[in-house]
Amino acid sequence: MAKIKTVFVCQQCGYQSAKWLGRCPDCDNWNTLTEETQVAQDQRPLRQFSTPEPPQSLLDVEACDEIRQPTRIKELDRILGGGIVSGSVVLVGGEPGIGKSTLLLQTSRALASSSRTVLYVSGEESLRQTKLRATRLGEIPKDLYIVSETNVDLIAQYIKKFSPAMVVIDSIQVMYNPLLTSSPGSVSQVRECSGLLTSLAKASNIPVFLVGHVTKEGFLAGPRVLEHMVDTVLYFEGQRHTSFRILRAVKNRFGSTNEIGVFQMTGLGLAEVTNPSQLFLSERPKKATGSVVVPCIEGTRPLLLEIQALVSRSSLVMPRRWCSGLDYNRIALLIAVLEKRVGLSLSSQDIFVNVVGGVKIQEPAIDLGIAVAIASSLKEVPVEQEDIILGEIGLSAEVRAVTRPEPRILEAQRLGFKRCIIAKNNLKELKVKGPIELIGVETVSQALEAALKK
Ligand code: TYD
Ligand code: MG
């Protein structure tokens, strides 16, 4: 009898080693290797669902546009690039309780209401629990099928039998393949199960949605493994104790990335927020220091957000620096520029910077807004209520042009903003007509002067 072989597999990236290691040499994470039994190659489950085809010239390959099924949830359709693409595999990740199951149940309901069969595989919750949730969301269509199952072989059989218009696997971490001895949720199982479901999706042209949990550190369990296999990765952001939920496309083979959809959790499930800028600014205080509105672009859509900074005298030897929704190192850099080039005295101040609404923003176009917010709080001079601020900051405190200024300014104009402080270099090619006044600046000092007039 063949000896049973065991290997140590990194639960983060799937790296395999013959002996245990404290640190994964591939992804540098500590304590991520666990022992798993390896299955001999000939016992591996058969992944192929279609007959193999020999290579052919790319010229001869028949291509048509992707067939997309709109879900009628507009925010989701936009993130997906116009609807669910046939045969695509979409991973929906997020913290527990953020709304993954709710969103997918709503999507299933929407598709099933236009008399297309949907198969919802609930591995975590019982049928009764899911029924209770679905009842809260509204009338249940008869074409919505549900099964409580975690054996991926059986699920594959059900998919072939029903050939539904869409399949939801909730969640991939509880699925297992009986041929593997490792426990559900381990990298081998996650990889095997998603591999099986992916090839089934491609062969049968049925779109599959996978729910993936996020570990404490904010990673999808087995992240790299999963992200490479699927076509689209959607991530739920936002704090659980607020009602906003932001769904972001991190990877999309069929649409643009960084597209976001904004939802609000209500008693009747997730409601779409069609005018997010207005919502994010609705609680903005009047005449408050340290509050600045910046127009960012997420994917294809401009979004106005409020940045708040609080600068207060520190009692610590090492003053505190804290930010939420922003890149910490970027804030440190901006503080250094303000200190060294603009001459603000910040070294003995605690500085806190926050993006209102739980949105995460990375783009450099908001640099100037952050700098003005910090200066406004330090000097205790509020920024005019109807100003927006737009510009990237370089290390010599110069203000650089931002990409796609027009849609940002138009969105601000639509919401009634009257003045825009912007990089002078942007003004040349800008073709915005209308009441909004554009103030071009070349340095951070000029911007502070324009924004913080008493
Ligand atoms: P859920 O979709 O179960 O989260 P996940 O699948 O990501 O773990 O979301 C559950 C949360 O949403 C729970 O805290 C209750 C809340 N909720 C509502 O507020 N309204 C609703 O209509 C539903 C269905 C859930
Ligand atoms: Mg769930």
- The whole-chain average pLDDT of the chain stands at 88
**CATH class in words for 279-451:** alpha beta
| Residue 300 pLDDT grade (very low, low, confident, very high; cuts 50, 70, 90) | confident
pLDDT band at 183 (very low <50, low <70, confident <90, very high): confident
Residues sharing a CB contact under 8 Å with residue 168, sequence separation 6 or more, in sequence order: 104, 105, 107, 108, 118, 119, 120, 121, 208, 209, 211
Q: What pLDDT sits at residue 419? A: 94
Sign of the dihedral through C-alpha 98, 102, 108, 111: negative
Q: What's the CA angle centered on 109, arms 106 and 112, to 5 degrees?
A: 150
Count of positions (residues) in the chain: 454
Atom 23 of ligand 1: nearest residue by CA position: 269
Q: Which two tokens stand for residue 170?
A: 């909730």
Average the pLDDT over each of 188-202, 213-227, 352-366 and give the range with the smallest value.
213-227
* CA 304–ligand 2 middle distance (angstroms): 31
pLDDT(97) > 90: no
Tens digit of each residue's pLDDT (9 = 90 or more) over 36-48: 877 655 555 555 5
Residue 353 alpha carbon to ligand 1 centre in Å: 29
Pocket lining for ligand 1, CB < 6 angstroms:
94, 96-102, 133, 136, 265, 267-269
Contact of 312 with 337, CB cutoff 8 Å:
no
Task: Please give the number of the atom of ligand 1 that sits closest to the Cα of 171.
Answer: 6
From 91, 92, 95, 102, the mutation candidate for ligand 1 (largest count of ligand atoms within 8 A of CB) is 102
Q: Is the pLDDT confidence value at 72 over 70? A: yes
Q: What is the pLDDT of residue 2?
A: 56
Q: Which ligand 1 atom is nearest residue 265's CA?
A: 19
Distance 270 CA to ligand 1 centre (A): 9
Residue 1 scores a pLDDT above 70: no
- DSSP bridge pairs for 80: none
Q: Which atom of ligand 1 is nearest to the CA of 98?
A: 7
pLDDT (tens digit per residue) in 239-257: 767 788 889 898 999 888 8
Whose CA is closest to atom 15 on ligand 1?
97
Domain 68-273 has CATH 3.40.50.300: yes
Phi and psi at 247, nearest 5°, equal: -105, 120
pLDDT digits (tens, 9 = 90+) for 325-367: 999 999 999 999 999 999 999 999 999 999 988 788 889 999 9
Distance, CA 99 to ligand 1 centroid (Å)? Answer: 5
Q: Which of 168, 246, 265, 266 to mutate to test the pocket of ligand 1 (most atoms within 8 A of CB)?
A: 265
Q: Which ligand is nearest to the CA of 97?
A: 1
State the pLDDT confidence band at 220, using cuts at 50, 70 and 90. low
Ligand 1 atom 25: residue of nearest CA: 269
Q: Give pLDDT, residue 290.
A: 95
Q: What is the mean pLDDT of residues 142-151?
A: 93
